[in-house]
Amino acid sequence: MKTYSLGEMKDKHIGPIGSSERDEYEYELRMEVLGKMIKTTRRERNLTQEELGKLVGVQKAQISKLESSTNSATIDTILKVFSAMKAEINFNVRLEDNFVKL
Amino acid sequence: MKTYSLGEMKDKHIGPIGSSERDEYEYELRMEVLGKMIKTTRRERNLTQEELGKLVGVQKAQISKLESSTNSATIDTILKVFSAMKAEINFNVRLEDNFVKL
DNA sequence: TTACTGGTTTCTAAATTTGGAAACTTTGCA
DNA sequence: TGCAAAGTTTCCAAATTTAGAAACCAGTAA
């Protein structure tokens, strides 16, 4: 049973914690990493974009757009894609302590 | 440092693993739970929808829609909201073993 | 070189989300 | 009860995503 976390993906695709790249892009790369996760999962399943497209019910071009984070995908779309690959995507929230209510 | 996982949220808002509700809604409630996570985090921060709206830069009605999963939010929107609350949302993917490529 | 597979890009239309405004409902409390 | 704050819903316009189609761009193998 294979699992990737966001952290691993960031280490791999952006850089380790503390590196300037990692710090700088910490926010905006979230979305991009999601695309990478789709790609990684698809590869893990040995699927081409076209095959995945068929499973999801869209054209390969759509998959390409999702993987490259061409646009900010909808939760609905994301769930559909992972579901087609029989992969479960989970979210979890961590509260940071540096929050002050004005 | 508080953390919620998707699992906890589902236990709390839907029912424990094995319960019929939990099984039945396992797929389609994912989206809904994300809304609940926003709400829970907001409460944790002691914010009203209006206050959170101000932080994000939208009206309280928007926050309401997001929390109730009126529509399938965009990743971009979700990140903006959690970011405004100084909360980090993470994803992770688990490959299920019951996948057969045709 | 040619052909083929896998991936990306552009264009266009349709569907959906975003957002503001205002009315409405619920909740909580004095 | 009655008031005010908090949350929800509806309506509408603007922006964005989704989706298909087709052209295009690697690679790679014959």
The dihedrals phi and psi of B4, each to the nearest 5 degrees, come to -120, 140
Distance A48 CA to C3 C1' (A): 19
Whole-prediction pTM? 0.79
Query: In B 20-59, which Cβ lie closer than 7 Å to strand C?
Result: 57-59
Question: Sign of dihedral through CA atoms B47, B53, B59, B65?
Answer: negative
**Residue A63 reports pLDDT greater than 80:** yes
Q: Which of A40, A82, A90 sits opposite B5 (nearest CB)?
A: A90
* Averaged pLDDT, A66-77: 94
Q: Which nucleotides of C are covered by protein (CB under 7 A)?
A: 5-10, 16-23
Strands (E), A3-102: 3-5, 87-95
Cα separation, A90 vs A96, in Å, equals 19
Most confident of A3-7, A28-32, A54-58, A94-98: A54-58
* Ramachandran area for residue A14 (φ above 0: left; ψ -120 to 50: alpha; else beta): alpha
Q: What is the pLDDT of residue A91?
A: 84
Cα separation, A72 vs A63, in Å, equals 13
Question: Closest Cα partner for B31 from B67, B85, B81, B79?
Answer: B67
| Mean confidence (pLDDT) of chain A | 81
Q: Best residue in B38, B48, B93, B95 to probe A by mutation, most A CBs within 10 Å?
A: B93
